[in-house]
Structure 1
């Protein structure tokens, strides 16, 4: 007996609708043409991959979707050796520079030298890393343009002393999460921090997400990028600034008020994963932990920074009122 179904007959030439990476419809493929021997001819690629390009002409070819991520629209980028070199010569503030590993010429040497002078980290990376950053024709060189200008720490500290202000600095050791960094900047601006100090390597990138999370605080508070935090902490101590580290490994608790936080001060906060580096902890004048009453023994670094800075502000306001 013949089996019957209620489904309508399937069309002989069913056409599927394909979409590119930006959810735009891709035109249907043309049927493959055949040569004199009846074999399907090789299809050809039409358009660019970044624009949802596709292979035409072969039945066996499937639509090609770009596998590389789209460029982060919140980050301004520069591509190519000469544009990056011109940006450095023009004094533009670059956040990071990536160069293709194995590339050695006069232009890369000039870029490396200028970047070192401007304290801009340069990384020699494989082509896969560059392809993962952008789908555009990078020509072996990509640079992130920073939306803020970094300030020299020594100039800021000198100007604070000249103006008769009591310096309050926030030193961040390897804070890599962009939104954490933005939240910390917002805390710092609200609590009266004069500058944020970050390392040139291993720090969160200042991009659109960081600016948005900071609620504009990164446009108000100076950020200092230092090549070596160990030397920076030593410089601060020699300049009369007390370094206080926030760490759960300390026996001294914040609420005990065993440390006077009203003088020149630098609060040191550690990374989200393993806290403050041991070499930096050894340079701290004091170590304080935030008291905990719950079962979880750690706080998000942005929350911890807010608690530490609030205690500093509380002690300073109390000393003024007394």
Structure 2
């Protein structure tokens, strides 16, 4: 299954990018040189595609094929146009519910979040092009196939997506401990977008400054936080409860 989502060789990766394929990340052998490599590197920068320079041993573990120093992970799903999805949602007459993930990088957490999003009727999931977990075989498996049922949008900058949602009449709610308000203080019966932060550092400060509301989960144990996929499920089901 893993090989179904991989492309091998510099020229093949360049052609895939130029053809508009959804590339999640490119692994490049350390010390790789040459004109073709420079062309690939320039293309990756222009398209803001995540890349990682790794030892050849890492590439050999990723694939037994003749990779020529470059392996790209290709997404099994087609990403949707963010602005088009928002416009369609606001014109539908329904109450949209968006989910933004700020640098959630663990593929299993990502897959579990996608599964919950599908079960709770999330309109679309929005992630940033750089820093987000890839959609690979592990994501598909953990999502139980839900990844094929929920629209996923990639944007250059999550903060710009926040501003666009707000300009479209959608309140943006940050899931964060840095507030006195709980999820039970938020009205989710109106068009809303929930932001979940990275597993280790939470939501970035610049995005926290831009949101409409901040909300936390009541915590009574000695451990100060939940796994991000569990916390996301609680937020989404509170939104469901209010509109049920």
Query: TM-score if structure 2 supplies the norm length?
Result: 0.89
Name the counterpart of 1:207.
136
Is the contact between residue 246 and residue 269 of structure 1 (CA under 8 Å) also seen in structure 2?
yes
1:252 aligns to 2:181 (yes or no): yes
Q: 1:194 to 1:74 in 2, by over 3 A?
A: farther
Is the Cα–Cα contact under 8 Å of residues 96 and 143 in structure 1 kept in the other structure? yes
1:184 to 113, 117, 125: 113
User: Secondary structure, in 3 states, of the residue corresponding to 2:210?
Assistant: coil
* 8 Å contact kept, 1:85–1:107: no
CA distance in 2, matches of 1:162, 1:237: 15
How far off is 1:123 after superposition?
4.1
Q: 2:20 aligns with which of 82, 91, 96?
A: 91
Deviation of 1:110 (Å) = 4.5
Residue 114 of structure 2 aligns to a residue whose secondary structure is helix
In 1, distance between residues paired with 2:78 and 2:48? Answer: 12
The CA RMSD over aligned residues, in Å, is 2.3
SS in 2 for 1:98: strand
Between 1 and 2, higher relative CO (CA 8 Å, sep ≥ 6) is seen in 2
Secondary structure of the structure 2 residue equivalent to 1:99: strand
- Correspondence 1:274 to 2:201: yes
The whole-number CA distance in structure 1 between the counterparts of 2:77 and 2:33 is 30
Residue number among 184, 192, 208 corresponding to 1:265 in the alignment: 192
Q: Are residue 310 (structure 1) and residue 227 (structure 2) matched?
A: no
Aligned with residue 160 of structure 2, among 207, 226, 231: 231
C-alpha distance in 1 between matches for 2:157 and 2:53 = 20
1:133 partnered with 2:88:
no
1:290 to 217, 229, 234: 217
Q: Separation in 2 of the partners of 1:92 and 1:284?
A: 32
Residue ranges of structure 2 left out of the alignment (5+ in a row): none
In structure 1, how many angstroms separate the alpha carbons of the residues matched to 2:46 and 2:94? 30
Cα separation, 1, equivalents of 2:222 and 2:51: 42
Q: CA deviation at 1:121?
A: 2.7
C-alpha separation between the residues in 2 aligned to 1:75 and 1:205?
14
The alignment covers a number of residue pairs equal to: 244
8 Å CA contact 2:176–2:216 kept in 1: the answer is yes
Q: Contact between 1:74 and 1:207, CA under 8 Å: does it hold in 2? A: no
Distance in 2 (alpha carbons) for counterparts of 1:275 and 1:87: 33
8 A Cα contact 1:119 1:226, kept in partner: no
Partner SS state of residue 188, structure 1: helix
Helix, strand or coil: the match of 2:2? coil
Residue 149 of structure 1, CA deviation? 0.9
1:269–1:74 distance in 2 versus 1, CA, 3 Å: farther
Deviations 1:214-267 (A, max 9, x none): 111100001111221122222222222211011122111223x3x222222110
